[in-house]
Structure 1
Amino acid sequence: MSSAKDCVATLIDDFQKRRPIRAGSLIITVYGDSIVPRGGTVWLGSLSKLVEPIGINERLVRTSVYRLTNETWLRGEKIGRRSYYRLSGPGRRRFEQAFKRVYHGAQPAWSGQWTLVLLTQLPQNDASRFVMSSNG
């Protein structure tokens, strides 16, 4: 039987083998799962120290946070010489939607049947005329 420490080491090893490393995704996960429930804001230096054992260096954290800020996932605030970041409103909503998809509501088993809908009021060359969906 493997210990929790062995399991964590295996997860970290698997994460580090992925190319490219998805540091931005991991940072958003850390925010949504750990930082938001504990106040929501963290100093960039603390975030770097938090993910360092996973193999994400400070430079990659800074680059990822910069990109996440530009993509409106995070919002920054400078206090003195330190920069603090939190999930933005849109970032929080996107995280919550992803969280629900991953952790809630198992989809019903597919019945194996399809529904075909043909729309006749659209131009002949419009690819959206043909819509298929499963009857889940």
Structure 2
Amino acid sequence: MLPVRPDGKVLLLHGWDPLKPHVPYWFTIGGGVEAGESIADAACRELREEVGIVLPADALGTPVASNTIEFEWGGARMIQQQTFFAVAVDTVDVTFANQEELELQTISAHGWWWGDDLEATGQAAHVTIPGLLRQAADAITLRRAS
């Protein structure tokens, strides 16, 4: 999920691999699809659980991007198929109250980012994230203009 404010900044989470807490990074909101869930339903559930934003699945529209990435987390090799939805938000009260225990242990903060600024830090969890932020901001700008 890529929540986008009117200024084009996108909400990300700050955290780390539980085996590498000394190497923090910024990453997108999301998670796995549970049995019987659509991708949109899963995206809305993850948005609610991870940051407390409640949206119905029909508010998401079409995905702005999808990809497959490979990475290591918690000592396991992951291959993750990802689908990204951009959603316009105005004011948001982010809360971690609904996070699972492992999330509470490995997520320290949230922040609002422009893709170029995140890219300049070198702290994106994956090289694709700054571009995703730009795509999300562009998609929301186009939706607001039409």
**Normalised-by-shorter TM-score class:** under 0.3
**Bigger Rg, structure 1 or 2:** 1
Give the TM-score taking structure 1 as reference length: 0.28
Give the TM-score taking structure 2 as reference length: 0.26
Higher helix proportion, which one?
Answer: 1
Higher strand proportion, which one?
Answer: 2
